[in-house]
Amino acid sequence: MENLYEKFGGEGTISKVVDYFYELVLADESVNHFFKDTDMEKQRKHQTKFISFALGGPNQYGGASMAKAHEGMNIQPEHFNSIAKHLHDALAHFGVSEADIDQVLTKISTLKDDIIYK
């Protein structure tokens, strides 16, 4: 059975989704401050590899653990939900079905405990 990574067209498509996702995130006053000191080029590459892996693609994600990566950020549930909404909208923008988006967000939500209140 084709995984979501293959279904969406692999890393090339996912990197376009990630670029658009960060456009939405950086335009959002409620969450963009988390990225003010971030090398966005590096962040986009990390996020593309991470989302590729989360969708069943190859594991080339060599970054810090989720808990470590978000340490000291004090991300609250509403921030997590804003980011998830932007991911939803970015996927929808590229024609991904609601059913597939739900699958992605369900997978991402399993990481919530490693991201919030750190």
Question: What is the pLDDT, as a whole number, of residue 54?
Answer: 83
- Kindly state whether residue 38 falls inside one of the protein's structural domains: yes
Length, in residues, of the chain = 118
- Kindly state whether residue 1 falls inside one of the protein's structural domains: no
- Kindly state whether residue 46 falls inside one of the protein's structural domains: yes
- Kindly state whether residue 51 falls inside one of the protein's structural domains: yes
Query: Tell me, what CATH number does 96's domain have?
Result: 1.10.490.10
- Kindly state whether residue 57 falls inside one of the protein's structural domains: yes
- Kindly state whether residue 70 falls inside one of the protein's structural domains: yes
- Kindly state whether residue 91 falls inside one of the protein's structural domains: yes
The Cα–Cα gap between 7 and 96 comes to 10
Q: SS3 letters for the chain?
A: CCCHHHHCCHHHHHHHHHHHHHHHHHCCCCCHHHHCCCCHHHHHHHHHHHHHHHCCCCCCCCCCCHHHHCCCCCCCHHHHHHHHHHHHHHHHHCCCCHHHHHHHHHHHHCCHHHHCCC
| Residuewise pLDDT in 10s, the chain (118 residues) | 789 999 999 999 999 999 999 999 999 999 999 999 999 999 999 999 988 988 889 888 777 788 999 999 999 999 999 999 999 999 999 999 999 999 999 989 999 999 999 9
Domain that holds residue 59: 8-115
As a whole number of angstroms, the longest Cα–Cα distance in the chain is 41
B/e letters for 21-39, b = 16+ CB within 10 Å, e = fewer, are bbebbeeeeebeeeeeeee
Domain count, the chain: 1
The reported pTM is: 0.92
Question: What is the pLDDT, as a whole number, of residue 63?
Answer: 73
Question: What is the pLDDT, as a whole number, of residue 60?
Answer: 82
Question: What is the pLDDT, as a whole number, of residue 16?
Answer: 97
